[in-house]
Structure 1
């Protein structure tokens, strides 16, 4: 096992731990909600609000991830399923979205709860995925969820163009075989589009997917509560 994790960036404590910064972010998210609910573009809104409150780039990134319009919030809530709704169903999991968020959470990176009740982080895949110390634990947590949900099947969807997507597929399938789990892993060139167009139940915190999917389940929120996960939460709301 290597020594990598998805913990905080240098400087994140300065940006996200002081009450002064938290207060600024709380005001900023209220302004974003106001603008987005009046159909202002997200990028322009975040630049305007970011300039007004003199936010740094990572604070603006967090702000964008946590913000949504009133229509988006209601639409997402209307489609959100509970754990009981997953019994005997096939659930599709937005692979890198869920994997990296949970790796970040377990690495004690800062995590943000959005206006829609979803948790998000500041990590991402930039053309390549690197396994970290927390990867195995994440897969085990998702297995616990799978058992408790009594879902029929779990299908992980990963971005085919991302380097090492084939390797993480092997790791997950090996784990599923060892533990007798009805899991499958598929690599797609456009996973977001695939998930929205071809599936009934999705696990993701990706805003675009949540806006256009049929139904979704808030896995990270469920795991935080059910498995009593420790979380380095920035309370912006």
Structure 2
């Protein structure tokens, strides 16, 4: 990242720690340093007040804790981030301890060879740590979500992992209201659940 981005990160964090409105502070800092969309995405996804970051970090569970537990996986969120880690995409280590991508490709997602590589890595980890049940949740409004869910179901069955993959009109609602450990880096969801597992973070640390 450029020196301008690092300066912008410091300024944005400074304003957030002093209680400034997040949207207003982001706009002010981005304009000050002339950041492009990518730069704004980096700030938006990675920089938080110390208070918010500490609260979210307290919800992170160690991957060893998923044994015999029910996992709810934010399908596109986790899959896209793992793809970026494995195949050279842009990812950032965030103030709140989570790993996030800055690609903003969610609504335009397409099934490709990288999909299968990322899915293989995710399922290999799940197999190793043996959760009681795994539910992959995909957004029905994204093209080919039904096909992707079928691919995941087939792989779960082939690897003898107890679980399912489904499409939902409102994945956020499901993740927030169903019982289980939630796998996501979406801060809106994190703020409303009790326990969170960051699978991409585990994969990233393994490769570092």
SS of equivalent to 2:4: helix
1:170-228: per-residue Cα shift (whole Å, max 9, x none)?
111111122222121121111112211223311111111112111101211111223x2
SS of equivalent to 1:212: coil
Superposed counterparts of 1:16-165, under 5 Å: 16=1, 21=2, 23-125=3-105, 127-165=107-145
**Stretch of structure 1 that moved more, 87-96 or 24-33:** 24-33
SS of equivalent to 1:199: coil
The CA RMSD over aligned residues, in Å, is 1.6
Q: Please list every run of 5 or more consecutive structure 1 residues that lacks an aligned counterpart in the other structure.
A: 1-15, 230-237
CA displacement at 1:128 relative to structure 2: 4.5
The TM-score with structure 1 as length reference comes to 0.82
CA displacement at 1:123 relative to structure 2: 2.4
Aligned counterparts of 1:74 and 1:144: Cα–Cα separation in 2: 30
Paired residue for 1:224?
A: 204
Q: 2:182 aligned with 1:195, yes or no?
A: no
1:71-127: per-residue Cα shift (whole Å, max 9, x none)?
211111111111221111011110000111111222211211111121111223454
Counterpart contact for 2:9–2:43, Cα < 8 Å: yes
Ranges of 4+ aligned residues in structure 1 off by more than 6 Å: none
Aligned counterparts of 1:127 and 1:68: Cα–Cα separation in 2: 25
Aligned counterparts of 1:182 and 1:191: Cα–Cα separation in 2: 20
Q: Please list every run of 5 or more consecutive structure 2 residues that lacks an aligned counterpart in the other structure.
A: none
SS of equivalent to 2:104: coil
Q: How many equivalent residue pairs?
A: 208
Paired residue for 1:6?
A: none
Paired residue for 2:194?
A: 214
SS of equivalent to 2:51: helix
The TM-score with structure 2 as length reference comes to 0.93
